[in-house]
Amino acid sequence: MQATDTQHLDLDLNEDQQAIADAVTRFCETRCDTETVKSLNHQFSAELWQELAAMGVLSPATPEGEGMGGALEICAISEALGSHVFPGPLAASFLATQVLPDNARAAIIEGSSVVSLSNIGDTLLPWGQHADIFLVVDGNDVLLASCDDDKRQAVNTLGAEPWARSSLTFGDQLDGAARGFILNDIATAAYLCAAGLKLVKEASDYAMVRKQFGTALGEFQAIAHPLADCQINLSAAETLARAAACCFDEGDMDAARNYSCSARLSASNAALQAAYTCHQVFAGIGITLEGPAFHISRRIRQLVSQPPGDVQCKAHLLQQVGLGTRD
Amino acid sequence: MDLSLSEEQIMIQDMARKFAREELAPVAEQLDHSGNEEAFLGNLKKLAELGCMGLNIQSQYGGGAAGVIAFSLAITELAKACASTAVTTSVTNMVAEVIQAIGNEEQKQHYLPKLCSGEYAAGGFGLTESSAGSDPSRMKTRAVRDGDDWILNGNKIYITSGTYAGVFVVWAVTDNDAKPGKGISCFLVEGGTPGLTIGKPEDKMGQKASHTNTLFFEDCRIPASALLGKENDGFRVAVGELAGGRIGIGSLALGVGLAAMDYAKQYLTEREQFGQKLANFQALQFMLADRYTELEAARLLLMQAAYEKEQGNYFGTAASMAKLFATEKANDACYTALQMLGGNGYIKEYPLERYARDVRITSIYEGTSEIQRVIISRDLLRTVS
Ligand SMILES: Cc1cc2nc3c(=O)[nH]c(=O)nc-3n(C[C@H](O)[C@H](O)[C@H](O)COP(=O)(O)OP(=O)(O)OC[C@H]3O[C@@H](n4cnc5c(N)ncnc54)[C@H](O)[C@@H]3O)c2cc1C
């Protein structure tokens, strides 16, 4: 299915990519640790978002950043943010940097503009309470839209993110959608995998110390094996995201699209499986809001459910195997 | 096993369904959101008046004497509208059943009418401790005899209805030298007893209207007459009663799963994408078919376990199978349904996100899925050997 020589994909981060991942990790540890994420209650902090943007994390695949490459940076950044459950419209912002004209892109890169990415025919606007740029997915295209502020209504979500509902007025069809979709899916997949792996790590650590029946939980195969399955599935999906990023950086957009769709779908399934499994490992304490699981599991649910969803990825992969039905 | 429902069972199912639709459904979302305690307690009182707090309790003690199948049917109907109300009802029934099973006549006459009539808003089941969850045999709460009294010290965590239960059934170690699970006794502790402090309700992911609290016992003095059943024989009782409670929790999960699928089914017939109704897509049709099949199988397992209990037969393994299957499949159903609604499944304008939060605990409390598998497999292997 891939034109790229998959035997020679180097999925490791180079020094620069590792450096930005480390910097994002340090930023999260100092500015947005677990307690902050919980106290933010998944709300959007413009201050934190701009601080993050000031590190250049939203610019990798732009003329201002790595130019035509940058997808592995995006992978590394999304992994670092995912493992700290950092809130904000990350993947949509990467997509926006591919489709918006220079000045609008600059506002995204510096974190002063907030993007809402939604589906045509749907009034639900992720991050819509704070958004000033509205992008709409219409099949394989992306449209610029405007939102009438008077009509915008706050919507409560499972994860408490500040979404909104409003009808939009559609404007121009934007160039660069294909690249944007790939980066959107890579970032979503990488974030989901990292959040899932973080949860698996926490649950595994807990299983090593929590004892029942005089035995550490991790000694029970019923606990250990499902955690191992989660780890394997998340790691596999993470590898797909890295492969997509490598192909993107090498300019093989067909392979990148195939991988990014596979990565997104695999990551969604693996992260949901991890959320379920880890809640089960934590049992009672995982049900409480101050516990170690819910702030991560609901973020996973958010990324899996939020518009534009994964319909496009499924359709794309079906077309690749000759089963395309949409068009 | 005759699967047809008796007239009385159908009547109770209809009554619970009507109550759920008319009284619970309109406030369930608000209760989840803002925890309107007055409305919640008001509904519990009405349910007691309808006979739902002692469905399997003999009529001489104010119960409905309707049996276990009727109990299961009622809990499923209530859970379709409000899982918080359903769990409170289920646990209260379980508490009443413990008292009926091992209480002396005086205890039964004193407590059962109060639980069944709603004089007590609810009953509480005090077993879990911070280091003794799946393995309650290693509990640390102690009861020491002091003249005509018992003195309780220790903590119980995650106790449903802690804030408003009129009476708690509480387990404590009474023989320090006995092996785990052997020297444990069961006590009746009334809410408000000096020495019993109720912690603040836990902030939870789901079933938010139902309070879940820590009970702190600090030199809590209760009379000798508060001993329920025989001294040092309490653990066997706890295990036995949890088996009955599992039918309640499985039934609750079934109700939430069905509510989620019913909502999603309707949505698929209304929402259009790619120029046609979502219900026309075979992938979605098959998901519906699979989930409804699983929920129907869960219903039958629950009926079987309830039937065995009602006949006075051993029903522990059947109850574990029913709880395991019903709660896991109900979780699947809720997540499938949420996903079927796409972004709308994630927002609070629709009930799916509440169902998904409410259902998650069902495969954890009253014995996790893993513990049900331990029970089932132990039974199977014992039979083989
Ligand atoms: C909302 C809520 C309401 C509750 N209401 C009540 C109540 O009214 N009364 C009451 O007494 N308790 C109540 N509980 C407590 C509940 O019953 C316990 O949380 C449950 O029994 C699990 O115990 P735990 O949380 O300590 O998990 P643990 O026992 O620590 O288990 C953690 C994980 O290890 C697994 N595990 C443990 N032992 C084994 C084994 N041998 N083999 C394989 N896996 C194993 C478990 O399945 C679980 O996945 C409630 C809890 C909640 C969250």
Residue A220, pLDDT above cutoff 50: yes
Q: Is the pTM of this model over 0.90?
A: yes
Owning domain of residue B45: 7-120
Work out the minimum CA distance from B284 to partner chain A, whole angstroms.
12
| DSSP state, residue B199 | P
pLDDT for the residue numbered A251: 94
C-beta atoms surrounding A283 within 10 Å: 26
Residue A143, pLDDT above cutoff 90: yes
CB contacts, 8 Å: A309 with chain B: 342-343
pLDDT for the residue numbered A94: 97
- What does the pLDDT average to over B364-378? 97
Residue A326, pLDDT above cutoff 80: no
Pair (B336, B256) in one structural domain: yes
* Ramachandran bin of B281, using left for φ above 0, alpha for ψ from -120 to 50, beta for the remaining angles: beta
pLDDT for the residue numbered B385: 58
The verdict on a CB contact (< 8 Å) between B343 and A287 is no
pLDDT for the residue numbered A2: 46
For B133, the token pair is 């969850």
Query: CA-CA distance, B259 to B169, in Å (whole number)?
Result: 32
- A121 against A58, higher pLDDT: A58
**B212 strand-pairing partners:** B160
Query: CA-CA distance, A111 to A50, in Å (whole number)?
Result: 5
Label residue B275 by pLDDT band (50, 70, 90). Answer: confident
* Side chain identity, residue A208: M
- What does the pLDDT average to over B133-141? 97
Work out the minimum CA distance from B127 to partner chain A, whole angstroms.
13
Catalytic positions of B, written as ranges: 366
The verdict on a CB contact (< 8 Å) between A283 and B134 is yes
Q: Which residue of B has its CA nearest to A212?
A: B135
User: Mind listing the pLDDT tens digit for each residue in A179-200?
Assistant: 999 999 999 999 999 999 999 9
Work out the minimum CA distance from A281 to partner chain B, whole angstroms.
9
Is B309 inside any structural domain?
yes
- What does the pLDDT average to over B293-310? 97
Label residue B384 by pLDDT band (50, 70, 90). Answer: low
Label residue A325 by pLDDT band (50, 70, 90). Answer: low
DSSP reduced 3-state for B202: coil
CA–centroid distance, residue A56 to ligand 1 (Å)? 45
Pair (B217, B269) in one structural domain: no
Residue A7, pLDDT above cutoff 80: no
Q: Which of A126, A305, A326 sits opposite B339 (nearest CB)?
A: A305
Last residue of one domain, picked from the residues B211, B232, B253: B232
Nearest alpha carbon to residue B234 among B157, B141, B123, B113:
B141
Complex ipTM value? 0.92
Nearest alpha carbon to residue B180 among A214, A217, A284, A219:
A214
- B33 against A278, higher pLDDT: A278
pLDDT for the residue numbered A149: 87
Q: Which of B343, B348, B369 sits opposite A122 (nearest CB)?
A: B343
User: Mind listing the pLDDT tens digit for each residue in B58-103?
Assistant: 999 999 999 999 999 999 999 999 999 999 999 999 999 999 999 9
Pair (B377, B241) in one structural domain: yes
B10-19, B109-118, B276-285: which range is least confident on average? Answer: B276-285
Q: What angle do CA A290, A293, A296 make, to 5 degrees?
A: 110
CATH number of the domain enclosing B108: 1.10.540.10
Residue A27, pLDDT above cutoff 90: yes
Domain A191-320, CATH number (from 1.20.140.10, 1.10.3720.10, 1.20.1050.10, 3.40.190.290): 1.20.140.10
Give chain B's domain count: 3
CATH number of the domain enclosing B301: 1.20.140.10
pLDDT for the residue numbered A38: 85
Residues with CB under 6 Å of ligand 1 are: A 210, 212-213, 217, 220, 222-223, 280-281, 283-284, 287; B 91, 125-128, 133-134, 158-160, 204, 207, 212, 361, 364-366, 368, 370-371, 374
Residue A327, pLDDT above cutoff 50: no
DSSP reduced 3-state for B328: helix
Query: CA-CA distance, A103 to A110, in Å (whole number)?
Result: 11
Query: CA-CA distance, B246 to A25, in Å (whole number)?
Result: 44
Last residue of one domain, picked from the residues B105, B120, B135: B120
Residue B115, pLDDT above cutoff 80: yes
CA–centroid distance, residue B332 to ligand 1 (Å)? 20
Average pLDDT, chain A: 93
- A271 against A151, higher pLDDT: A271
Label residue A4 by pLDDT band (50, 70, 90). Answer: low
* B128 and A CB contact within 8 Å: yes
Last residue of one domain, picked from the residues B104, B120, B136: B120
